[in-house]
């Protein structure tokens, strides 16, 4: 008879109490021995924390300090994103209406012998990509999304047999392209704090010089469009030549104008930061078909073209900053929640280990007292 059959026979047919059990020599489980507790399916997915009490206390203190830092960074980003979104929403109507005015003027003057350099459409041989990234990290996948969009556009241009050059704006983008020697970068530009007209003017001058000198035939913007506090979309749209449809369009001709904006108001609810949302409908009224020029149309266009470039670049910087701050606020909120959850897990492990140690000490004292008595 095999061992397995013997074990089965013993388990199925135990001897009676009156008869002696021939298998009493098997080791018996001590009554003081506790069986291992059954872990739930959720706790079995995580490995047990094997640390001493001192190490657990140090880890809990570290998590508490991290929680304070992420909470502070979340509040700072929430305070800044309010100002950034106000700048985005207040600046959009001006930039969009200015673009429509320029288009309307150029459309009415298309049969006249007027040379406007920024509206000249040439056969595209080389494209300049103006990539706008953030200056800091700790904002989730904000910078990676923009750079991935730029890389995708570069592959598309290479597949079409077109050359390209990059104008990098932002410290994160500069650091990324400096590690890519195979990418031709024309300029590395930076800006600090909230974008100003001066910052936009410096960037617009570089794009203007490349296009007017015919070094490039097209200038495209790669940036993050601010949609809402929890959503930002990396987009590509044409900056130069001037859009022939009077709208802000992407590289595929799709309109990226905002029809309805979400306006956020930061409030306090039950002692914590809260966000209220309001919708702002953007007007889309067309321009009047008849226009009279008091000055020479060439002078009007020459004075409005720099304004167009500066306003579009400033708008892009504002939207990128608002997207970066909202991404940082969401990332720090997630980090804060994770720190709270980790602190709870470590506290439970610490209390269990401490209780186990106390119970063991009580048992030792009790056993010693019984032995002496």
Calculate the CA dihedral of residues 88, 90, 93, 95 and round it to 10 degrees: -60
Can you tell me the distance from the alpha carbon of 77 to that of 269, in angstroms, rounded to the nearest whole number?
18
Tracing tokens 């990128």 back to the chain, one arrives at: 320
Are 197 and 217 a contacting pair, CB within 8 Å? no
- Residues 182, 233, 88: CA angle, nearest 5 degrees: 110
| Neighbouring-strand partners of residue 8 | none
- Residues 90, 307, 192: CA angle, nearest 5 degrees: 65
Instruction: Spell out the long-range contacts of 172-178 with Cβ–Cβ below 8 A and sequence spacing 24 or more.
Output: 172/133, 172/134, 172/135, 172/136, 172/137, 172/143, 173/131, 173/132, 173/133, 173/143, 173/146, 173/147, 176/133, 176/143, 176/147, 177/131
Tally of CB atoms within 10 A around 306 = 14
Backbone torsions φ then ψ of 244, nearest 5 degrees: -80, 0
Catalytic member of 51, 139, 249, 255: 139
Q: DSSP states of 37-82 as a string?
A: PPPPTTGGGS------HHHHHHHHHHHHHHHHHHHHHHHHHHHHHH
Residue 218: exposure state from Cβ atoms within 10 A (0-12, 13-18, ≥19): buried
Can you tell me the distance from the alpha carbon of 348 to that of 39, in angstroms, rounded to the nearest whole number?
15
Can you tell me the distance from the alpha carbon of 143 to that of 12, in angstroms, rounded to the nearest whole number?
68
Q: Where are the alpha helices (DSSP H) in 179-296?
A: 197-212
Q: With H, G, I as helix, E, B as strand and everything else as coil, classify residue 233.
A: strand
3 carries an active-site annotation: no
Which positions are annotated as active-site residues? 139
């Amino acid at each position: 008879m095999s061992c397995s059959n013997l074990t089965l026979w013993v388990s199925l047919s135990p001897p009676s109490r009156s008869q002696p059990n021939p298998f009493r020599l098997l080791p018996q489980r001590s009554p003081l021995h506790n069986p291992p507790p059954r872990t739930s399916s959720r706790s079995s997915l995580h490995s047990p924390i094997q640390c001493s009490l001192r190490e657990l206390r140090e880890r809990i203190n570290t998590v508490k300090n991290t929680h304070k830092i992420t909470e502070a960074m979340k509040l700072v980003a929430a305070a800044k994103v309010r100002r950034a979104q106000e700048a985005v929403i207040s600046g959009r109507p001006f930039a969009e209406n200015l673009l429509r005015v320029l288009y309307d003027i150029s459309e009415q003057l298309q049969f006249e012998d007027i040379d406007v350099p920024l509206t000249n459409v040439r056969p595209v041989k080389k494209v300049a990509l103006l990539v706008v990234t953030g200056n800091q990290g700790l904002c989730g996948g904000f910078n990676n999304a923009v750079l991935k969009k730029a890389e995708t556009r570069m592959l598309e241009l290479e597949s079409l047999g077109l050359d390209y050059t990059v104008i990098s704006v932002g410290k994160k983008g500069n650091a990324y392209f400096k590690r890519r020697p195979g990418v031709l970068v024309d300029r590395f530009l930076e800006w600090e704090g909230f974008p100003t007209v001066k910052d936009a003017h410096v960037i617009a001058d570089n794009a203007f010089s490349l296009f007017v000198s015919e070094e490039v035939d097209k200038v495209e913007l790669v940036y993050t469009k601010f949609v809402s506090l929890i959503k930002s979309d990396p987009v590509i749209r044409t900056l130069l030549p001037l859009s022939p449809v009077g709208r802000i369009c992407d590289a595929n001709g799709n309109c990226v104008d905002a029809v309805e904006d979400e306006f956020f108001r930061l409030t306090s609810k039950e002692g914590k930061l809260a966000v209220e949302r309001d919708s702002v409908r953007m007007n889309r009224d067309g321009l009047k078909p008849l226009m009279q020029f008091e000055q020479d149309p060439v002078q009007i266009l020459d004075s409005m073209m720099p304004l167009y470039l500066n306003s579009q670049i400033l708008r892009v910087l504002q939207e990128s900053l608002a997207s970066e701050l909202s991404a940082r606020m969401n990332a720090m909120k997630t980090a804060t929640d994770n720190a709270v959850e980790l602190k709870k897990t470590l506290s439970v492990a610490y209390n269990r280990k401490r209780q186990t140690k106390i119970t063991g000490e009580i048992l030792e004292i009790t056993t010693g007292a019984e032995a002496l008595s």
